[in-house]
Structure 1
Amino acid sequence: MKQRTIAKSVEIVGIGLHKGVPVKMRLEPLDSDMGIVFYRSDAGVTIPVKREFVVDTKMATVIGKDDVVVSTIEHLLSAVYAYGIDNLRIIIDNDEVPVLDGSSSGYCMLIEEAGIKELEKSKKAIKIKKEVEVTTPEGKRVCLKPSNRIVYDFKIKFDHPAIGEQDFHFDYSIEEYKENISRARTFGFLHEVQYLRSIGLAQGGSMENAIVLDQSKVLNPEGLRFDDEFVRHKILDAVGDMALLEYTLVGEYDAIAGSHHLNHLLTKKLYEDESNYEIIDLEEANSEAKVFELAYSKVEA
């Protein structure tokens, strides 16, 4: 199996969630072994998508270099990672990735418009060898476990009548991601949105790009796309955060009330001990390569 990039450049203009200003974004192909990088065209700075460049995880995953940042990268990276793209240049002219409708479905469409191109060098993946977890005293937990498949399991519990307890099992393929994960939107509570706006954040947030809840119900007139849209979006975020591993994951991700911050701590902890993982060549590892071939083939058939 070979590394992947997009077949042609594509552009989009959208609004940033927090600043609320228009952002122009262009995706460009890159050659083998160049990885995924952001380029801030207004500042002339390139920021690789690597865990050591993560500078903030409170409201979103933010990477930075030389005092230049790119914020809210997780939805775009979720789609890029789900489509198996290894090499890509993302050019933006502001400090925040467009939020679109609050999901990653628009990015899936953008990638499909660009097409996917196989490169000359073989694709690599990171295979989990030992269980690694990060926990909090409150019972939050994120974990990576050995598996010959690619699986995401997520559980959430909110003291809210529209959410409650939800769990979702995602057995990875592009088709399953596109249909069951990518359409799930980010969500927030009205009182939180009001507070964020008071401190200059969430200026671009609206019911056009997020699920908004008051104390008892969903305020969006169209309602939910899935009954369990909330936990599905948490998986969407987790897929994007795992892009910071730099290689496609072979293993099981499991979370209880996970977050961007815990996901970042998890990627760091995994790499602290080389016995936790193995970087495999998918030209040589036939069984793992078949997992990806099956996961990739359905949507591209």
Structure 2
Amino acid sequence: MKQTTLADQVVIEGIGVHQGRPARVVLHPAEAGSGITFLRTQLANGRERLIEARSHAVRDTQLCTVIGDDTGATVATIEHLMAALAGLGIDNVLVEVDGPEMPILDGSSRLFVEAIDQVGLRTLSAPRKVVKVLKPVRVEHGQSVVELLPRAEGFRLDVEIAFDSKVIGRQAFGIDLDPTAFRRDVAAARTFGFMRDVERLWKAGLALGASLENTIAVGEDAVVNPEGLRFPNEFVRHKLLDAIGDLSLAGYAIQGHYKAFCPGHKLNAMILDALFADRSAYALVETQRRPVRSAGELLQPAAAFAPDIN
């Protein structure tokens, strides 16, 4: 129950799915209590800016999650890396990126996980903290509904989607989040888009880097990618992956239950805003271990309080 960081730095390169521009990312080990912070380099006049990966830094949620600061510095499409870090239980990393968008890689979190596995993790001396959900919080937008509910321990996510497409249709999936479940059931699920939307997105300056190498292309009657799907329900698994990444912008792991129908980046940002707007809905809890006579160890939360964590 101690905080973690990377054992060494990790270098990742690729292109952004929306702007199609190359980006080089260096993941640096970071000190306990520093959380996940982005160092955006190669800005105008050689400037650099630090941007906290926190919900208050969200600047846009159209098709991806974008964080930024008051100077206009931004980093887009952070959710797949953030999901990898949260899924592996990594608390502290400095993410140095030299472009406006994170590389899409294969459209999932898998390659981020594999790169991190090359160096491994380091356990720090400071205890880990979690945001404990104390009472139900709910947001709605159109047909979409997202809830955060109290839970005795851990973080569970249950997601259901419904698309007017016979290729996708209605799908549901859920996991109790831990590194094993994330690696096995979620990390490899790729982002997806509809062929019918391609021209509209291009005209809007989006999806310029999308290809069959990094996106599931959904046609009228079938998936266009020649290799097909990695999971029969890969679409809902990717929505769950996005939720893990978006919700990690709480700044700490969450102890609670996320339930969602047709979620997206906008709804995920809204549910965090709703949670932190109500001081009685959450507490920041320092997790500890204490012995239990009959069954090894029990995770026991310390006294809770609700500081302004955003």
Q: TM-score range by the shorter chain?
A: over 0.9
The unaligned stretches of length 5 or more in structure 2 are 291-296, 302-310
> CA RMSD of the aligned region, Å?
1.4
1:29 is matched with: 29
The 5 Å alignment of 1:237-252 reads: 237-252=242-257
- The DSSP-based 3-state class of the residue aligned with 2:288 is coil
1:143 is matched with: 147
The 5 Å alignment of 1:1-301 reads: 1-43=1-43, 44-65=48-69, 66-136=71-141, 138-148=142-152, 149-283=154-288, 287-288=298-299
- The DSSP-based 3-state class of the residue aligned with 1:283 is strand
Looking at structure 2, the residues matched to 271 and 155 of structure 1 have their Cα atoms a distance apart, in angstroms, of 24
Looking at structure 2, the residues matched to 179 and 52 of structure 1 have their Cα atoms a distance apart, in angstroms, of 31
| Matched letter for residue 86 of structure 2 | Y
Looking at structure 2, the residues matched to 79 and 12 of structure 1 have their Cα atoms a distance apart, in angstroms, of 13
Q: 1:218 to 1:127 in 2, by over 3 A?
A: same
Q: Which has the higher helix share?
A: 1
TM-score by length of 1: 0.93
Looking at structure 1, the residues matched to 222 and 26 of structure 2 have their Cα atoms a distance apart, in angstroms, of 37
Give the superposition deviation at 1:288: 4.0
Give the superposition deviation at 1:198: 2.1
- The DSSP-based 3-state class of the residue aligned with 1:169 is strand
| Matched letter for residue 56 of structure 1 | D
Instruction: Please list every run of at least 4 consecutive aligned residues from structure 1 whose deviation after the TM superposition is greater than 6 angstroms.
Output: none
For residues 114-173 of structure 1, the C-alpha deviation after alignment (integer angstroms, 9 at most, x for no partner) is: 21111121110111110001012x331011001123210000011111111100011222
The unaligned stretches of length 5 or more in structure 1 are 291-301
Give the superposition deviation at 1:215: 1.7
- The DSSP-based 3-state class of the residue aligned with 1:194 is helix
Looking at structure 2, the residues matched to 284 and 146 of structure 1 have their Cα atoms a distance apart, in angstroms, of 21
Greater mean alpha carbon deviation, residues 281-290 or residues 51-60: 281-290
Question: How many percent of aligned residue pairs carry the same amino acid?
Answer: 39
TM-score by length of 2: 0.90
| Matched letter for residue 22 of structure 1 | P
- The DSSP-based 3-state class of the residue aligned with 1:178 is helix
Matched residues, number: 289
Give the superposition deviation at 1:289: 6.0
